[in-house]
Amino acid sequence: MGRRRLWTGKRLRQITRELGGLGISVSPNTVRRLLRQLDYALHANTKSISVSSQHRDLQFSCIARHKKRFLHRGLPIISVDTKKKELVGNFKNPGRVWSSKPTPVNDHDFRSQGKGMANPYGIYDPIANRGSVFVGTSHDTPRFAAENVARWWCQTGRKAYPNASELLILADSGGSNGARVRAWKYELQEKVAERFGLSITLCHFPTGTSKWNPIEHRLFSEISKTWAGQPLDSYETILRLVNQTTTQTGLEVQATLITKHYETGQKISDHQMRTLDLERHAILPEWNYTIHPRKNRI
């Protein structure tokens, strides 16, 4: 409260000096009273401006329709995204935890004092209420994202859905698995569709609507609650805390450390894109498309 009063007084004195320069002699208290009469008040920035697509409702209808079809046929649906990058080391982690005494951490979050960066790429199965988190130590790239989908299928997917020939992926419009990212489509073709004989249907959430992606509020938010107030001082700590994440509705999470190095700046040529067996849907084709395995196509 004291800091707010100090800030208020500073602003009032500034306005008073500016008015004095115009030949208007008033006191800071008078300035405050006049501002209140004019309905002026101290305001912080408010997050209220959003970028909304004109096709937002139509895309949500498309997503719901695809989910219904896959659910009816017992086919797998996964929600994917990369959680916020974390600096690994003895640094402050927002939140509180019950303990006999506070845990001392570094007073500054200098990256040079850390052990590296963690890129937690998550895959959430809303049918089974099960999540897989692949904690990368390198860069969050389209190849990293696609190979994590392949890892999920090997570890979990094909065991839970042994007869599946199709997979529905719900993803955001940006990031390593963005709707316009060529490398994401190319790597899915090579690493997943071709390797496992899966037809992969992609539905992307419109810009500014990522909070409706199931992984955000059903997996990532629970992980954040689990490790709140606990320093992420090592990769082992991150894996342990992710594995400990549960909910009363039965959420289970499996964490895996990925130490493979991923180069950034991967370029996919027009020729490489033409080799894809990519079927764009009739409705909003930039957000909805299916990648088929070439060997299964006529």
Stretch (H or E) spanning 256: strand 252-258
115-152 residue pLDDT tens: 999 999 999 999 999 999 999 999 999 999 999 999 99
CA neighbours closer than 13 Å in the CB half-sphere of residue 210? 18
| Rounded distance between C-alpha atoms, residue 288 and residue 155, angstroms | 27
197-235 residue pLDDT tens: 999 999 999 999 999 999 999 999 999 999 999 999 999
Q: How confident is the model at residue 2 (pLDDT cuts 50, 70, 90)?
A: very low
pLDDT above 80 (res 267): yes
Tell me which residue of 242, 122, 254 sits closest to 175, measured CA to CA.
122
pLDDT above 50 (res 7): no
| Rounded distance between C-alpha atoms, residue 272 and residue 274, angstroms | 5
E strand intervals along 67-115: 77-82, 86-88
| Rounded distance between C-alpha atoms, residue 154 and residue 143, angstroms | 16
| Rounded distance between C-alpha atoms, residue 298 and residue 295, angstroms | 8
Q: Using a pLDDT cut of 90, give the percent of the chain over it.
A: 74
